[in-house]
Amino acid sequence: MILVLGILIALAIILILQPWKRRDCRWRQDARKLADGRVLFTCTACGAELALPKGREPTSCLAGDR
Ligand SMILES: [Zn+2]
């Protein structure tokens, strides 16, 4: 019974943290600016591209969202 409980807790932790989504993204601000004033960021690790309003920076990797 304790073993089952332990497995359930481990599963819950894995589902909450989602470690497969945590990749080390190295976001770099792209020199190209978009027409509507947003800034384009590109990840040098996985190649993801993200357009954000000026002054904001991407926090997570998008590699797992594809
Ligand atoms: Zn990335």
Ligand 1 center from residue 8 Cα (angstroms): 30
Ligand 1 center from residue 29 Cα (angstroms): 13
Cα separation, 66 vs 56, in Å, equals 22
Question: Locate tokens 């991407």: which residue?
Answer: 58
Please tell me whether the overall predicted TM-score, pTM, comes out greater than 0.75 for this model. Answer: no
Ligand 1 center from residue 36 Cα (angstroms): 24
Q: Which among 41, 39, 59, 37 is positioned nearest to 50, based on CA atoms? A: 41
Please report the pLDDT score of residue 26 as a whole number. Answer: 85
Please report the pLDDT score of residue 64 as a whole number. Answer: 56
Compute how many other C-beta atoms are within 10 angstroms of the C-beta atom of residue 61: 19
Ligand 1 center from residue 27 Cα (angstroms): 7
Q: Where along the chain do its domains lie?
A: 22-59
